[in-house]
Amino acid sequence: LILIYALPLMLIGILRFLFVKEEYDVDAAVKQEHIKMKEILLMLKTNKYAWLFAGITLCFNIVLGMNAAAYYFTYIVGDIGRFGTLQMLTIPMLLIMFIFPKLMNRIPVSGLIGMGTAFGIAGYILNFFAGSSMTMLMIAFVATSFAALPISYLQALIIMNLANFNEWKGMPRLEGTSGTVAGFASKIGSGIGSGILGILLGAAGFVSTATGESVTQPAAAMTMIRCLYSIVPAVLFTIMLLFTILYSKLDKLMPDIDQTLQSRRAVAKKTD
């Protein structure tokens, strides 16, 4: 892992620090005023897209927080080691990130997230019928892994768009507040996911065991494990898709928002 991830990424980070020129607007930093609580509350009341983004993040992290794969591969597949085989597929999946800049020239952020979410729904539904078939599980894993990429890597761009919307509405940009709302939703989602896993497994009669101890789980618990690895995430991803469709209205507004903000800044510079 050190050779695959740590050293190459460290090298990229060092080269970026040495050779990438930083450009920033000094005037913007000088003119930044102290943010008041009422402005934050106004943004939370006015910017519905920040809440939609938080909803997407919440559902996504509920799925991550459940972490039902360990139970599925232990009791349904019968070999937890096979999950490690699937995880190796995440390495070539990262190469997809190199085509994201090209895709973003043609597809808005919400479109990429929606496309990934649709793949995720299909992948999780396939998990329900896969049983112990590694071929089907691999196909489903690729689909669900692809679903996670836009949500994971485009958050900074979404926060920038939310900030532009705030400025367009005459409010402070509040990038930090938008990021905090999404971060809070992710932490809550992780906790809810862990709670859902425990509650549903307990309700289905799951038998807890010590490490290495063999036990036969009741049929209800086995069905619940299958649902936690398939149906429950598929439902959450469907909710995410609905949030994404509602959020897409902001992407449609962004060309007008960007043009208006550029005009305002040009006028402000002339005034100064």
Q: What is the pLDDT of residues 124-172, one digit of tens each?
A: 999 999 999 999 999 999 999 989 888 888 888 899 999 999 999 988 8
Q: What is the pLDDT of residues 63-81, one digit of tens each?
A: 999 989 999 998 999 888 8
> How much is the mean pLDDT over the chain?
87
N-to-C CA span, the chain: 53
Q: What is the pLDDT of residues 9-48, one digit of tens each?
A: 888 888 877 777 766 554 444 455 577 888 889 998 999 9
Residue 121, CA distances (Å) to 129, 141, 146 in order: 13, 11, 11
Label residue 104 by pLDDT band (50, 70, 90). confident
Q: What is the pLDDT of residues 238-255, one digit of tens each?
A: 999 999 999 999 999 999
pLDDT for the residue 28:
47
Please give the structure tokens belonging to residue 79.
Answer: 């070999």
pLDDT for the residue 6:
79
Least Cα distance to 195 among 232, 230, 226 occurs for 232
Query: pLDDT above 70 covers what percent of the chain?
Result: 93
Please give the structure tokens belonging to residue 12.
Answer: 């990229």
CA dist., res. 178 & res. 53, Å (int): 9
Give start and end residues of each alpha helix (H) in the chain.
7-19, 26-31, 37-46, 48-66, 69-71, 81-87, 90-93, 100-104, 109-130, 134-153, 155-168, 175-203, 219-228, 231-271
pLDDT for the residue 209:
73
Q: Is the pLDDT of residue 211 over 70?
A: no
The 3-class secondary structure across 234-265, one letter per residue, is HHHHHHHHHHHHHHHHHHHHHHHHHHHHHHHH
